[in-house]
């Protein structure tokens, strides 16, 4: 019954506008047509299918476009390598990708289309936790496994047992930066500036505060903004008056670059700290040298000599003309984990693929060993990076 309800909801939600990308693996081709208004079989695939069908939803345009583009390239590269090597069980993978423009309602609509019209057998995405939370219910209700490459909010996988991720979660990431601030930087007075419209930012703020205060530190002031704001001087002036030793800013790169730049104009010299949402080359374009001496937690660093990671970096550069960020690496690992599950699954049906993904243990990814815990989250260490003249300088690794 849940499945029929989900498909009926799909018919209503598909009225929303979507953009569909084309890529070498995206062989669907034609512009998607509106979904049928009556419930129809969503899965499994037609018995004559000779491919494994993978769906992807990402922010290929919009305010966090570099997140979606990097992740898409990582998925695309992994799929090409797998297909060039012969695929899995004699079948190759076919990718269908939709652009959600960074909007949760578009992410939900695109996911429903992937399930009801494109008959995908697994869904990859999103980066932003808010968007992944919108994608998860249709996947859960229709028994189609979903793997988020890099959504860190714990509520994403809590939606159901068909929802997975290959990254660590915010309780750990917030703890990492709180420990780093207290133990490595020897700070005891920190202010927080958070995005009230982002589950990611609110979650990291919460977990940073819990750990930092438990360690004996004090949050001297908190202020907030909304994603897309352009002027942050009022909030920054408020924080400056509290004289913090550092400011925790768990936002996305497009806001962070502007905020730090405006902070320096106001005479704030304290370092800023953040999370993996900072990881974009656009951050430096917006923030420039004002970011020097700031720190953020991330999933991996290209300075890691791991041969598997270094090969991925070289292959990515050859394919796309620039080095990958951590989001690209997680996209690559998400596709690889999915392919590994198809190889071990009894069939390509949702329940069988779900069971195989849940059994992922010690998978050798480019971002490290991936083992999924009972809550379907990857348990992995985090790295802390310092920004210096547009470069990420490795500082330390903190294990769970």
pLDDT at 334: 98
The strand pair at 382-388 and 295-298 is best described as antiparallel
**Cis, bond preceding 44 (omega within 30 deg of 0):** yes
User: Which position has the token pair 């703890």?
Assistant: 175
Residue with tokens 């057998």: 121
- Under 8 Å between Cβ of 137 and 159: yes
Q: Give me 316's structure tokens.
A: 């990515």
Which strand (E) or helix (H) includes residue 94? Answer: strand 92-99
As beta bridge partners, residue 297 has: 384
Nearest residue to 103 (alpha-carbon basis) of 154, 68, 152, 69: 68
**Rounded CA separation 315/313 (Å):** 6
Beta partners for residue 193, in sequence order: 223
Phi, psi (deg, nearest 5) at residue 383: -110, 155
Q: Give the DSSP H/E element, type plus range, for residue 354.
A: helix 350-358
* pLDDT score at 15: 34
User: d(Cα 339, Cα 83) in Å, to the nearest integer?
Assistant: 10
Locate 218 and state its tokens: 């004090």
> CA triplet 192, 196, 201: central angle to 5 degrees?
60
Q: List the structure tokens of 26.
A: 């995206």
52 has which bridge partners?
93
Virtual CA dihedral for 338, 340, 342, 344, nearest 10 degrees?
Answer: -140
> What pLDDT, on the 0 to 100 scale, is given for residue 24?
37
- Residue 34's Cβ-count burial label (10 Å; 0-12, 13-18, 19+) is exposed
pLDDT confidence of residue 29: 31
DSSP string of 365-378? ETTEEE-B-TTS-B
DSSP code per residue over 181-208: IIIIS---EEEEEEETT-HHHHHHHHHH
The tens-digit pLDDT sequence of the chain (400 residues) is 334 334 444 433 443 334 444 343 443 333 333 333 333 344 555 545 799 999 999 999 998 899 999 999 999 999 999 999 999 999 999 999 999 999 999 999 999 999 999 999 999 999 999 999 999 999 999 999 999 999 989 999 999 999 999 999 988 999 999 999 999 999 999 999 999 999 889 999 999 999 999 999 999 999 999 988 999 999 999 999 999 999 999 999 999 999 999 999 999 999 999 999 999 889 999 999 999 999 999 999 999 999 999 999 999 999 999 999 999 999 999 999 999 999 999 999 999 999 999 999 999 999 999 999 999 999 999 999 999 998 999 999 988 8
111 contacts 57 by C-beta, under 8 angstroms: yes
Tokens of 183: 């133990």
The predicted model scores a pTM of 0.83
SS3 label, residue 166: coil
């Amino acid at each position: 019954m849940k499945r029929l309800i989900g498909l009926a909801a799909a018919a209503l939600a598909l009225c929303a506008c979507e953009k569909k990308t084309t890529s070498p693996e995206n062989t669907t081709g034609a512009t998607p047509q509106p979904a049928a208004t009556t419930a129809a079989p969503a899965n499994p695939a037609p018995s004559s299918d000779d491919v494994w069908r993978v769906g992807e939803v990402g922010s290929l345009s919009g305010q966090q476009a570099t997140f979606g583009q990097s992740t898409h390239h990582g998925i695309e590269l992994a799929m090409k390598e797998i297909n060039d090597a012969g695929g899995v069980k004699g079948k190759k993978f076919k990718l269908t990708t939709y652009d959600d423009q960074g909007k949760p309602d578009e992410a939900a609509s695109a996911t429903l289309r992937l399930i009801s019209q494109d008959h995908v057998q697994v869904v990859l995405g999103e980066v932003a936790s808010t968007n992944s939370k919108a994608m998860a219910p249709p996947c859960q209700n229709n028994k189609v496994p979903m793997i988020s490459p890099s959504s860190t909010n714990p509520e994403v996988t809590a939606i159901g047992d068909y929802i997975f991720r290959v990254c660590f979660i915010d309780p750990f990431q917030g703890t990492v930066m709180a420990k780093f601030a207290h133990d490595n930087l020897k700070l005891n007075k920190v202010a927080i500036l958070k995005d009230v419209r982002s589950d990611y930012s609110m979650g990291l703020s919460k977990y940073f505060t819990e750990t930092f205060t438990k360690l004996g530190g004090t949050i001297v002031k908190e202020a907030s903004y909304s994603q897309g704001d352009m002027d942050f001087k009022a909030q920054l002036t408020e924080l400056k008056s509290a004289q913090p030793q550092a400011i925790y800013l768990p936002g996305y790169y497009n806001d962070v670059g502007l905020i730090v730049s405006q902070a320096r104009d106001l005479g704030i010299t304290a370092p800023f700290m953040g999370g993996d949402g900072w990881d974009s080359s656009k951050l430096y374009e917006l923030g420039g040298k004002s970011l020097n001496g700031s720190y953020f937690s991330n999933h991996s660093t290209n300075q890691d000599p791991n041969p598997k990671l270094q090969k991925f970096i070289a292959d990515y550069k050859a394919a796309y003309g620039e080095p990958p960020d951590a989001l690209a690496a997680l996209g690559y690992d998400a596709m690889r984990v999915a392919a590994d599950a198809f190889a071990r699954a009894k069939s390509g049906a949702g329940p069988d693929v779900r069971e195989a993904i849940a059994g992922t243990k010690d998978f050798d990814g480019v971002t490290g060993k991936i083992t999924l815990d009972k809550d379907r989250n990857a348990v992995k260490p985090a790295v802390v990076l310092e920004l210096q003249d547009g470069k990420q300088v490795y500082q330390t690794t903190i294990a769970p």
